[in-house]
Structure 1
């Protein structure tokens, strides 16, 4: 991490280092063996700002493939005298262990795990977050979520296939996604199963009886699902061949790009193919069935 500097008259004990909210790691490899790490970059972020950066070339103790060299430009002569993965393992462990580690796809996770095995070092115990998954949810309208495409779209200065630049860009992607969607790190880390429990049992009667309704941006055990079930609808996990309606929740992570989400596109495809599925926003449906607005609150009696 960035060394802490003591000013004039500072106490002999240095202050504790700033602990990052998350770190980002990126590696480049020398050949098709994922353990052949030849460059690694780690960047720490706290409160949306970079607080440290670490980068080094690595002697992979392996062959260099012309294909890989064409991608990142690193050749055998560049790593002469550089540390091996075994040499830097302790540094990586200090940066990553016990923290949230972001990687753009899990290639880097696999490469680090393989390098630990090959070099007889213990696995680095960290909590992984895939920034590709984050980006797909934050910007579903993009046709590609490769790091260079995202960097261009978000205006991030980026040198593709440079480990430090890639790590920095992936970290900024996560920061921007949190700003765009309002979803924090805990939300991005939560597995789908924990974000949504079983759907409520539909009422025997109601204006939505017979409907099978999928929701975009709402949990199957949440307030909207209960409103639909109370109106007689069966809430389903996603758009399928028997789904009759897709409800776009008022507060959902896709924002103004809801129409570009995979679920929305699937509903449109079903409709174009002749399915009677209806796409409706939450507020319109609430008014149709006479349900109170989600943001309204009961007025106290005077």
Structure 2
């Protein structure tokens, strides 16, 4: 376990370093032990300045929760690995010292939700930071890529990466932002600025098709994107979020199944509706594209 002196030493080191070299942004990634979004079992943080890595921090965490076989298959961390690891309560001050008051990048907002949930579960103050989603950055920089998952991006960009290791994931997401800025000329302030993309409304549904009559919400992709156009071409009406008349929720391939979207409000609403007897289907993008395979690709 971390002692208070360990935490003070880590924070003193971070403070001494940042006194003269404040990072432009920090990147955080967490791994979880089970479907509970608060069950953080590893944290990785990397600071970047002028496009170069400034510092790194990584630790295993005892989530005080179960380890599911599904999550173990993803990251390889088991209960035996964290027996002597600090709890999130133990490291909260360190994480807050790195993220608090800064711009924090995460690849999707799963990590934001996990940290917020862990703060609540462990009765620690919320971490006040300004969040930037590197998935959205990548979609703006390389809109034509078939996938903006982190492992797909690192392969495309030639970034060395060990997927589902928190430190490697954090470093990779930071490099995605760096490469995106180099590629587009957009600086950090530009990525953080609100954007109004042209054609933001949902595509008009085709008058006929296998999805005619379906009202489809999409989790993890834009209403005017390729997936929405594909669904609309099949006759579906793409809606902004899950409501009482929604008949289908499609999860974008950019959202890892079982990791992020089960904590999303639209997913929880869809599950609640199903339990109440509503006829709403929850499908992955791959499943719906397979079902619509005869249609020409968008």
| Fold agreement, TM-score > 0.5 | yes
Unaligned runs of 5+ in 1: 5-12, 197-215, 217-235, 242-260, 273-302
Larger Rg, first or second structure (1 or 2): 1
Structure 2 residue matching 1:150: 3-state secondary structure: helix
Structure 2 residue matching 1:110: 3-state secondary structure: helix
Deviation at 1:189, TM superposition (A): 1.0
Structure 2 residue matching 1:156: 3-state secondary structure: coil
- Are 1:79 and 2:82 counterparts? yes
- Structure 1 residues 31, 15: closer, same or farther in 2, change over 3 A? closer
Q: TM-score, with normalisation over the residues of structure 1? A: 0.61
Aligned positions of 1:1-302 closer than 5 A: 16-192=19-195
Deviation at 1:16, TM superposition (A): 2.9
Q: TM-score, with normalisation over the residues of structure 2? A: 0.62
1:2–1:52 Cα contact (<8 Å) kept: no
Matched positions, count: 203
2:200–2:224 Cα contact (<8 Å) kept: no
2:47–2:54 Cα contact (<8 Å) kept: yes
CA deviation profile, 1:195-227 (whole Å, cap 9, x unmatched): x8xxxxxxxxxxxxxxxxxxx6xxxxxxxxxxx
Deviation at 1:192, TM superposition (A): 2.6
Partner of 1:233: none
- Structure 1 residues 58, 183: closer, same or farther in 2, change over 3 A? same
Structure 1 residue matching 2:137: 3-state secondary structure: helix
Instruction: Quote the RMSD (CA, aligned, Å).
Output: 2.9
Deviation at 1:190, TM superposition (A): 1.3
Structure 2 residue matching 1:24: 3-state secondary structure: strand
Q: Distance in 2 between the 1:3 and 1:155 partners?
A: 35
Q: Distance in 1 between the 2:226 and 2:17 partners?
A: 55
2:200–2:223 Cα contact (<8 Å) kept: no
2:203–2:223 Cα contact (<8 Å) kept: no
